Amino acid sequence: MQFISLTFIVFFVAVCLLYYVCPQKFRYIWLLFASYTFYLSINVYYVLILIISTLSTYICGRMISGKEKVSEKRTPLIMCIVFNVLILGVFKYTNFFISSAFGVAGLFGFNGEFNALNIILPVGISFYMFQALGYIIDVYNGKIEAEKNFALYALFVSFFPQIMSGPIERAGNMLPQFKKSAGFKYENMRDGLLLMMWGYFMKMVLADRMAVVVATVYDSYDKYYGTVTLVASILYTFEIYCDFAGYSNIAIGAAKVMGYNLMQNFESPYLSGSISGFWRRWHVSLSSWFRDYLYIPLGGNRRGTPRKYLNTMIVFAVSGLWHGANWTFVVWGLLHGFYQIMGSVLMPLRNKIVSILKIDRKAFSHKLIKIICTFMLVNIAWVFFRADTFKQAFDMIGHMFIMKPWVLSDGTLYNLGLDRPNFLLMIMGLIVLIVVDICNTKDIYIRDKIKKQGIWLRWGIYIAAVLFIITCGVWGPGYDSASFIYSQF
Amino acid sequence: MKKNLKLILKTFIFLILLLICFFAVVIIVERKESYIKNKNFFEQAKEDHIDVLFLGSSHVINGINPVTLYRDYGITSYNLGGHGSVLQATYWELIEALDYCKPDYVVVDSYMLEKNYQYLDVMEENAGEDDINTSVEQLHLNMDAFPLNKLKVAAIKDLIQDKDIQNQFLFDFIVYHDRWEELSKEDFGVLNNKIDLNTLMGGEIRYEVENELEEYVQAGEDEILAEHTVGCEYLMKIIDECQRDGIGILVTTLPFKETYDDQLAAHTAASISADYGVTYFNMNDLGVIDEEADLNDPGHLNVTGSEKTTDYIGQWLRNNTDLADHRGDSEYSDWDSAVESYNSELYEQMKGQSNLESFLNVLNHDSVSCVVYVNMGSDAFIDEGVKHLIKNLSGTERIDEAAAAGGSYILIRDIASGNRYEAVNGESLESVSTSMGEVTYIPIEEKFRLFYRDEDPDTNYLYSDEHLYSDIQIITYDNENGEILSQVYFTSEGETYISE
C-alpha cells in the first residue's frame, strides 16, 4: 500500500474514523494494528524484521533502564546496536561490501566475477531501525525512561505514516503522545489534510513530472550536452526535494489528522545561504539524528579543529552510505562534508573580502548570491546521488557547463519526455513551490492565510486544489506508485 | 454537542460539493468518442424508437447507416458496432443494450469469429504490446458510454483479465485525467449538452476509395474453422440470448476483402446460423458491392458501399419482417432531421474533395450534378481505378475510347433530367439540356476548350489561366437551379492526383 493510491486513501479514512470511535485508552492498540496491517500490505516477510528489531530494542531498553553503572548498561546497548546494524548491513550492504571487495581484489590482479545476491531490502528498514536505535541510546543516556508497554513501544517503531520514510522520530516526542491519544480536533484534521494535500501536490504534480525529464537525460547522459544537462540536474535537485518533502508532508499531515505532531523534516532547504544551513533544513530528522547519536558521541566540536573536521567527514560518509549502498552515495556525503569543512576554513577569508569590499551582509543581493552558490554546490552533489556510476556523474557535470542557452527557447526542452503543456505546468508549479518556501522563511504561511478567508473562498480553494492534484497529478496506467525515492533507502 | 453537529453538517456539505465538482471534472476530462457515438442510443432507447439493433465491429460502424435505412425503408435502428469488437465484446454490448431497449430484430456481423482468445488485454499468445493497447483502447470506445453498474462490472470481468485494467474501465478517470492538456470546447460542452453528437445513429461514414486490393486464396465452400473458437462460442451466446428474448436475429458477414481465414470464419458463421435456424448471409458472395469503388480500405466500406449494404439489408428486413415504416410519423421527426443532416453532409462532400477517387465516387449520389473533364495526355487514362470510377458515373465504357485514342473526355451527369452526356477525343456537345440551361462543349486544343452556357458564351468553365496545367477538372452544380457549386482541378502525377 503506497501513499499514492486509492487503497491508502480508503485505508487512512477508515483508520481515522475507527480511531476516533475507539475508546481513548485502546486507541494505540488500534493504531498498532493499523500500522502492522499497513506494513503487511507491502510484504509479509518484512514484518519479521520489524518485529525482531522492535523486540530487541524493547528488551535492551528494559535491560538498561534503571541501571546506574555505565558498565552494566553499555554491554546490552552495544550488543543491541551491533545486532540491529548487522541486520541492516546484511539486507542493505551485503552486495555492496562483496562487490567492493571484488573491486579491491581486482586491483591486485584477481579477476573473479561477482553476481549480486538476490537480497530484497525491507521497506523503511533504515528509518525504523534508526528510530529504534535512537530510543535505546536515549534510554542509555537517561533522557527518557524505557517504555514498559510493549504495544506502545511497537507502535512508536511502526507508526504507519512514518514507517516507510520517516521522519525519524524521537521516543521523547512520540511516546507521550501515544500514551495520551489526543481527542478529535477540527483544527488538527484541517491542518493535517491541508499538509497532506501540499505533499500530494509536491509529489504527484511536481516530483513525478520532473522525474520524466530527469530520467530521459540521465538514462542517455552521453547524448545530452550543455544547458539541457544543467536543466536536468536542477530538475533533479527539485525532484528529490519535492519527492521526499512531499512524502514527509503527507506523513506529518496524516499523523496530524489523528492528533499527533511529528517533527518538521524540511524547512525551505534550497533557500539556505550555506551548506551547514542547508543541513539544518534538509531531512532535519536524519541530520539531527546523526548530530545527536553520531557526531556528538564522536566528540563533535569539542576535541579541536582537526578532529571536528574528521568527525564531520565521518558523519557525512555514513550519511551517504545510509542513503544508498553505492560509492556514489559515499562521495555525495563526502562532498557535503568537504563543502562544510571548506566553508569553515575559508570563513576568515570570506569575512575579509566582505569587509574590504564593504558588502552589506543584510543586502538582498548578497543573500541571493549566497543562496545561488549554495544551491549550485548542492546541485552538483546531487549528480553523484542520482548517477549510477562515477563516469555518469563526471560526464553529467562536465556536460553541464557547456553553454547552449538557446535550448531554453527553441523547444528542445519539450522533447525530454514532457510535452509543452506538461513542461509549463511543471515550471508554474515550481514557481508556486518557491514562492511558498520564501513565504515560509518569512513566517508567512499560506495555509494560515487561506484559513482566514470566508467559507466560500476557502472551500473553493480546497476543492480546486483537490481537483487540480487528482487531475494534473501523475498517476494512473504506467505509473509506478512505489517510486518515492527515499522509500528505497 | 451543537458545535459537533454543526461541524458534521459543514463537513457533509463540503464533501457533497467536492463530489459534485469531482464528477463534473470526471465528465469533462472523459474521452468523448464513446459518448458522441452512443449518446443517441440512450435517447432513442428511452423513446422506444429502436426496432433493429446492428452489432459487430467497425465493419458494421462503416457498413450500416441507420439513417439511410430510415430514409429508404422507414425502419428505425441503431448501429452499436464497436471499433475492434470481437464477438465477446459484441455479446456484452448486446447485453448492455438490452438493459435499455428491446429491439424487434438484431443484426450481428460475424467478423473475427476466428479469434480464439477470451481476454482483450491478453489476446493471442504472441500478441504485441501495441496490439493489446489498441485492443484495450478500442474497448474503451465501445464501453465508456455505458454507466457503471453490475452488468458493466460483469462485462469487464469477462473481457479483461488484469485487475488494474479492469478498474480503468469501471473508473475511467484513472485513464482520462491526463487529458487535462487536450481539453477542447467540446469537452466542456458536454456539461450543457452543447456537443456535436453522432447524427447517423451510431453509424460513421468514410469517403476514401481503396484502389490496391490484394487477392487471396479462395477457400472451398465446405471449409470451416478447425476449432470451436471463443468467437464461435459468443456468436452462439448472442443467438441464444436473442432467441430466448423473442428477438429476431440475422447473422451477416458484411462486405470486405476476405482473407482465407476470413472465408473460413464466414463459412463457420453460416454453419452455426444454420444449426440455430437463423438466416445468415455472406455479402461477399452476393455481389452487393463493387470492390473497386465501395471499399474505403480492405476492411471497411465507404459511403457508396455503406449505401448498397444498408439497402440490401433494408430490402431483406422489409421483405421478411413486419417492421413498421415510421416515415411520416411525427413521433419520429428527429429521424427526419437526421436524414436532412445526412443529406446535407453528403451535399457538402459532393461539392468538393481533395482526393480525386473519393470525389468521383461520392458523385454517384444524386444530390448534386457534375461535369467531369479529363484532358488529353492525363495519367488518369492509364489509371484503371479512376477510369472505373468514371465508368460508374457515366454508366458507359467510353472513357476507354478516349484513353485508347489519347484524346480528351467529358462527362456531364445531369441528375434533374437523368441525362448523361459524354464526348471523347474531338467530339463536341452542342446545346445539351441540363439544370445549368443548355450548355455547349467544344474541344479546341490541348490547353484550350470551351464549355459554356448557351445564354452566356463568354464564361468558359473549362479554362482557367491559373490552372493551365491541370488535366482533370470537376464542376459540380445544383440539380434544381444549375448554380455552380464548385470547380476543382487536379493534376495527375502517375497515379497521384494533386488537388489545386
User: Who wins on pLDDT, A91 or B203?
Assistant: B203
| For residue A300, pLDDT beyond 90 | no
In the prediction, which pLDDT does B473 show? 94
pLDDT, position A488? 56
CB contact under 8 A, B25 and A471: yes
Of B298, B319, B343, which closes a domain?
B343
pLDDT for residue A237 is more than 70: yes
Shared-domain flag, residues B39 and B26: no
Vertex B112 angle, CA B111 and B117, to 5°: 155
Q: Are residues B197 and B334 in the same domain?
A: yes
Angle, vertex CA B370, rays to CA B369 and CA B373, nearest 5: 165
Higher-pLDDT residue of B55, A451: B55
Task: For residues B308 and B205, state if they share a domain.
Answer: yes
- Rounded to whole angstroms, the maximal C-alpha distance in chain B is 102
**Domain match, B378 and B441 both:** yes
Number of neighbouring beta carbons within 10 Å of residue A141: 14
Fill in the amino acid letter for A436. V
B395-404 tens-digit pLDDT? 999 999 999 9
In chain A, where are the structural domains located? Answer: 6-108+120-162+173-181, 184-226+238-266+409-476, 281-397
pLDDT at A304: 85
CB A241 within 8 A of CB A266: yes
Instruction: Identify the band that residue B28 occupies on the pLDDT scale cut at 50, 70 and 90.
Output: very high
Could you tell me if residue A417 is left (phi over 0), alpha (psi between -120 and 50 degrees) or otherwise beta?
left
Same domain, yes or no, for B201 and B54? yes
The average confidence (pLDDT) of chain B is: 93
DSSP string for residues in B208-240? -----PPP-PPPPTT---SS--HHHHHHHHHHH
Q: Are B91 and B80 in contact (CB under 8 A)?
A: no
Does a structural domain hold residue B382? Answer: yes
Average pLDDT over residues A248-272: 95
CB B94 within 8 Å of CB B66: no
For B36-47, how does the pLDDT look when each residue is reduced to its tens digit (9 = 90+)? 999 999 999 999
Question: Cα dist. A366→A121, A275, A278, A436 in Å?
Answer: 45, 16, 17, 21
Query: Has residue B392 been placed in a domain?
Result: yes
Whether B69 and B156 share a structural domain: yes
Instruction: Answer yes or no: is pLDDT of A203 > 60.
Output: yes
Catalytic residue set of A:
323
CA–CA distance, A153 with A132 (Å, rounded to integer): 9
pLDDT band at A486 (very low <50, low <70, confident <90, very high): low
CB B361, CB B209: distance < 8 Å? yes
Global pTM reads: 0.83
Q: Are B441 and B450 in contact (CB under 8 A)?
A: yes
Compute the distance between CA of residue A21 and CA of residue A23 in angstroms, rounded to an integer: 7
Q: What angle do CA B296, B300, B303 make, to 5 degrees?
A: 55
Q: What CATH number is attached to the domain comprising B56? A: 3.40.50.1110
Q: Are residues B239 and B360 in the same domain?
A: no
- The yes/no answer to whether this complex scores an ipTM above 0.95 is no
Regarding whether B19 and B97 lie in a shared domain, the answer is no
Per-residue confidence band for A362, with pLDDT thresholds at 50, 70 and 90: confident
Question: Would B462 be classed as within a structural domain?
Answer: yes
Beta-bridge partner residues of B452: B440
Q: Average pLDDT for residues A416-428, to the nearest whole number?
A: 93
From the list A235, A287, A233, A243, the residue with the least C-alpha distance to A265 is A287
Where does residue B287 fall: left (phi above 0), alpha (psi -120 to 50 degrees), or beta otherwise?
Answer: left
Q: Which residues of B touch A17 (CB under 8 A)?
A: none
Helix, strand, or coil here: B198? Answer: coil
> Rounded to a whole number, what is the distance in Å from the CA of A360 to chain B's nearest CA?
47
Do residue A459 and residue B175 have CB atoms under 8 angstroms apart? Answer: no
Whether residue B466 sits in one domain with residue B393: yes
Q: How confident is the model at residue A478 (pLDDT cuts 50, 70, 90)?
A: low
Q: What is the DSSP string of A81-106?
A: HHHHHHHHHHHHHHHHHHHHHHHHHH
Q: Which amino acid is at A202?
A: M
- As for how many domains chain B has, the answer is 3
Q: Determine the 3-state secondary structure of B418 from DSSP.
A: coil
Tell me what pLDDT residue A473 has: 92
CA distance B55 to B93: 8
A392/A174 Cα distance (integer angstroms): 42
B272's enclosing H/E stretch is helix B260-276
Is B22 close to A467, i.e. CB distance below 8 A? yes
Q: Is residue B461 part of a domain?
A: yes
**Parent domain of B279:** 33-212+222-343
Residue A70, pLDDT > 90, answer no
Checking if the pLDDT of A18 tops 90, the result is yes
B348 within a domain of the structure (yes/no): no
Whether residue B217 is contained in a domain is answered as no
pLDDT at A199 over 90: yes
> Given pLDDT bands bounded at 50, 70 and 90, which one contains residue A481?
very low
For residue A284, give every residue at least 6 positions away whose Cβ sits within 8 Å of its Cβ, in sequence order, or none: A167, A263, A264, A265, A266, A267
Confidence grade of residue A440 (pLDDT, cut at 50, 70, 90) = very high
Predicted local distance difference test score (pLDDT) of residue B55:
97
pLDDT tens figures, A76-123: 999 999 999 999 988 888 888 888 888 787 778 777 777 777 777 788
A60-63 own/partner pairs: CB under 8 Å, 24+ apart = A60/A136, A61/A135, A61/A136, A61/A139, A61/A146, A61/A147, A61/A153, A62/A146, A62/A148
Position A97 scores a pLDDT of: 83
- Residue found by looking up cell 518557491 in the block: A434
| pLDDT exceeds cutoff 50 at B497 | yes
Alpha-carbon distance of B320 to A211, in angstroms, equals 64
Average pLDDT of the segment spanning A303-317? 91
Query: Within a domain: residue B289?
Result: yes
Tell me: the pLDDT tens digits for B184-199? 888 998 888 888 889 9
Domain boundary among B322, B343, B364: B343
- Cβ <8 Å between B25 and A186: no
Q: Which chain A residues are Cβ-neighbours of B177 within 8 angstroms?
A: 470-473, 475-476
Burial class, B300, CB count within 10 angstroms (exposed 0-12 / middle 13-18 / buried 19+): buried
Question: Facing residues of B248 across strands?
Answer: B105
Partner-chain contact A476 B7, CB within 8 Å: no
Share of chain A above pLDDT 70, in %: 98
Would residue A124 be called left, alpha or beta, if left means φ above 0 and alpha means ψ between -120 and 50 degrees? left
Residue B330 sits in the same domain as residue B402: no
Do B174 and B168 form a contact (C-beta atoms < 8 A)?
Answer: yes
Do B458 and B478 share a structural domain? yes
Q: What is the percent of chain B with per-residue pLDDT over 90, rounded to a whole number?
A: 80
- Give yes or no for a contact between B448 and B463, defined as CB atoms under 8 angstroms apart: yes
Determine, yes or no, domain membership for B270.
yes
CB-count exposure of residue B345 (10 Å: 0-12, 13-18, 19+): middle
**Least confident span in A4-18, A64-78, A332-346, A414-428:** A64-78
**Of A304 and A320, more confident:** A320
Residues of B with CB under 8 A from a CB of A: 7, 14, 17-18, 21-22, 25, 29, 164-165, 168, 173-175, 177-178, 180-181
| Chain A hits for B175, Cβ within 8 Å | 476-477
Mean local confidence (pLDDT), B95-119: 95
Residue A482's pLDDT band (boundaries 50, 70, 90)?
A: very low
The whole-angstrom separation of Cα B110 and Cα B270 is 9
Side-chain half-sphere exposure of B180, counting CA atoms within 13 A: 19
Q: Report whether B207 contacts B303 (CB < 8 A).
A: yes
Instruction: Note whether B336 and B380 are same-domain residues.
Output: no
Report the gap between the CA of B168 and the closest CA in chain A (Å).
Answer: 8
Tell me which chain A residue has its CA closest to the CA of residue B164.
A477
Least confident of A34-38, A67-71, B347-351: A67-71
